[in-house]
Structure 1
């Protein structure tokens, strides 16, 4: 079989290869390839003297003298701009702060202490003018995060937010890298679902805007829905991951989730990204906590290395330099482990809270942050919560009062990850759903326990909260490209 397969691939390559040569000769494709090679990040990284280069980007700084003009041009590929030295005759009145330019010239050694090379321009063209008076971001002025947030369509033009976007991209790839290297299969879980996974009722209902698509039928509730049942934007991909884990053992998803939570707090969004994983053949919370800890530690180390310049710039320009110590502790020190009951005892022993949290009540943000601070400013696992605080699918502990659930708390943010062992006993799960009157809605979920059920568990991490903790960002709306919260859905 080897020879026929080899011949097959040779024949396919023979077909593709001429196309590749043609594409390289085409103007648009060649220019696109050339642009990738000529990005500012690559120029600054290699620092090779070149006679003919073309740079396209936005002017981030402009200094004019009688005999020469200095421009700092950024194309978004890195945090550092490329200095362009141009004769005043090349620059018209439309060369201003914020405008988009195309520069051709020679890449030469730079006398500027901040970089090794600069461009000596012999041609400069304004691709997109910008009125610096009307432009909301001003040169040499530090704008607050609150101010920048009022211009969601323009904030990628700021150095701070463009750094955040590159860090976010690196963090995304770091999480994928961890899961792929540890035997997890990525699953694309649906955005539309008929299940309220968390059972809290904080869901967005989905129906067509055009009412003519569905004709109301009196007495037939199903016929009045587009999908023949109530449909929501997903609040979690967990239940769908459990379906897939029944055949793949280790699965994960990384995608948007939605909560109709009427909160304007600095840690809450109505649309955010979740990293969720499910592991089969796990009997203890410790198995899940080991994966959670390794994932957070490994990805954090990867991000701090791969996005070093952007992280340094972001922390420095947001006044969060001290966050580096907290992050380094997360990447190197052992996470603490306490039970919910132990956490309540610690909180009762502290006299600074205005009210005492009672056993059986949920922990508030101030409690979570205090616990991490009290235990050494490191991430803290809190385990074995009262059963009434967790969803129906969480596995009951032998004491019949608590469940095998865990929250990972991190300094400054509070809860970062929530996880649990899943109830794998059919009769127990059926009884819970029957008591709640939802056994018909979750009949498919019960089937998972009827046909080859296995002990399993999983967790979900809020990606924006992770970035908040990593960068010491005060408001979660500053770490997501397009924030969605009550009363706010611009763009």
Structure 2
């Protein structure tokens, strides 16, 4: 059915999945609205790469027929423009005046991957919180969001979730994992402790300080912790983006990933570097001073300690319904070499 996307909504499975997606979407807005967050429509078109990953879709004007033999392209703006990979930097600008903001919008990654966990176009939940100097504040917000939307969806879409679970032959153990996630506190551990656990309990692991955790490592760590979601915090500076706040040890940054059963990384977040001199130095070292001068000005002309996170909505749904492939939790999936309509 992935070859005939326009016909998929006529199937019972896709119809049920879209109803579940709708319920969870409304639960996300309900959670943030009840906590006093303001919804922001962050731009789809952007002149910067938020995380420095370099995997961007470039936007150009097409002159002539799309399927013609000849076509010319040109810049529409006075700078190169891209489809956004994240609304975070724009949320930071808004948080400087509104304090608590969030967005729930599409994001795009030009990563040439056809795995069961990647899409070229997906939805991101992102939030920014001013006046915080603690990663714990960010973790409590993330944990509260996930527990709330999970409970709301289970209660409001129980019939559809039951149908999808039956269709996917989801085991009863998966339901126990979801129930355990709602009832238990998420585990917190620093990156260094996570390395020790993996190296002591996984014969195939030989991870050194500074190595990034692969998906297999993430799943093994969650399994070791009893299939309860795990926050891994305080990563080496080189593993996190330039905006992550440097810790007092000058070795790590106040960044975190949330790992969940069966999926691995679901969320990432940081305290943002609010010290002008340090941020200036980082931007200069990465040759980003010109393109992100406005971001630096947020610190120069008045700022406050703040932080936030991003969560892949499609990946969350994949976990919730026990879906083996992320392409089946959205109506019109896009991935490498596949954009049929």
- Range class of TM-score, shorter chain: over 0.9
Residue of structure 2 equivalent to 1:191: 44
Structure 2: how far apart are the matches of 1:378 and 1:149? 33
Matched, 1:365 2:215: yes
Residue 150 (str. 1) matches residue 3 (str. 2):
yes
Q: 1:319 & 1:229 partners in 2: Cα distance?
A: 50
Which of 239, 242, 248 is 1:392 aligned to?
A: 242
Distance in 2 (alpha carbons) for counterparts of 1:373 and 1:406: 19
Alignment pair present for 1:240 and 2:90: yes
Alignment of 1:92-111 (within 5 A): none
Instruction: Write the distance in 2 (CA, Å) between the matches of 1:307 and 1:321.
Output: 18
The match for 1:374 among 211, 214, 224 is: 224
Deviation at 1:358, TM superposition (A): 1.7
The CA distance in 1 between the partners of 2:6 and 2:314, in whole Å, is 19
| Residue ranges of structure 1 left out of the alignment (5+ in a row) | 1-147, 212-223
Aligned pairs, number: 332
Q: Which secondary structure does the structure 2 equivalent of 1:268 belong to?
A: coil
TM-score normalised per structure 2: 0.95
Distance 1:190 1:356, change over 3 A: same
2:294 paired with 1:462: no
From 183, 196, 199, the counterpart of 1:345 = 196
- Within the candidate set 159, 164, 184, 1:333 is matched to 184
C-alpha distance in 2 between matches for 1:225 and 1:438: 21
Aligned-partner SS, 1:399: coil
- Give 1:417 deviation, angstroms: 0.5
- Work out which of the two has the higher radius of gyration on C-alpha atoms and give 1 or 2: 1
Is the contact made by 2:119 and 2:327 (CA closer than 8 Å) also made in structure 1?
yes
Given the alignment of the two structures, is residue 160 of structure 1 paired with residue 10 of structure 2, yes or no?
no
Q: Shift in Å at residue 208 of structure 1?
A: 0.3
CA deviation string 1:101-146 (max 9, x = no partner): xxxxxxxxxxxxxxxxxxxxxxxxxxxxxxxxxxxxxxxxxxxxxx
Partner of 2:79: 229
* TM-fit CA distance, 1:451: 1.6
Residue 351 of structure 1: how far off its partner (Å):
3.6
- The Cα of 1:316 is off from its aligned counterpart by 1.3
Q: Contact 2:104–2:125 (CA<8 Å) still a contact in 1? A: yes
Give, in whole Å, the separation in 1 of the partners of 2:247 and 2:75: 40
Secondary structure in structure 2 of the residue aligned to 1:149: coil
2: CA distance, partners of 1:370 / 1:242: 34
SS at match of 1:154: helix
Q: Any idea what the Cα deviations from partners look like across 1:132-166, whole Å, max 9, x if unmatched?
A: xxxxxxxxxxxxxxxx3232111111111111110
1:442 aligned partner: 292
Task: Say if 2:50 is the partner of 1:200.
Answer: no
TM-score for both structures, normalised by structure 1: 0.66
Aligned to 1:174: 27
The CA distance in 2 between the partners of 1:433 and 1:414, in whole Å, is 30
Distance 2:77 2:271 in 1: 32
SS in 1 for 2:273: coil
- Determine which structure has greater relative contact order: mean sequence separation of CA pairs < 8 Å that are 6+ residues apart, divided by chain length: 2
Q: 1:383 aligns with which of 223, 230, 233?
A: 233
Report how far residue 438 of structure 1 moved: 1.4
The answer for unaligned runs of 5 or more in structure 2 is 65-73
CA distance in 2, matches of 1:341, 1:196: 29
* Counterpart contact for 2:244–2:273, Cα < 8 Å: yes
In 1, Cα distance between equivalents of 2:181 and 2:225: 13
Alignment match, 2:165: 315
Equivalent residue of 2:179, what SS? helix
Per-residue deviation, residues 393-421 of structure 1 (Å, max 9, x unmatched)? 00001111110001000000000000000
Shift of 1:331: 1.2
Question: Which of 266, 289, 294 is matched with 2:144 structurally?
Answer: 294
Counterpart Cα distance in 2 of 1:351 and 1:205: 41
Aligned to 2:271: 421
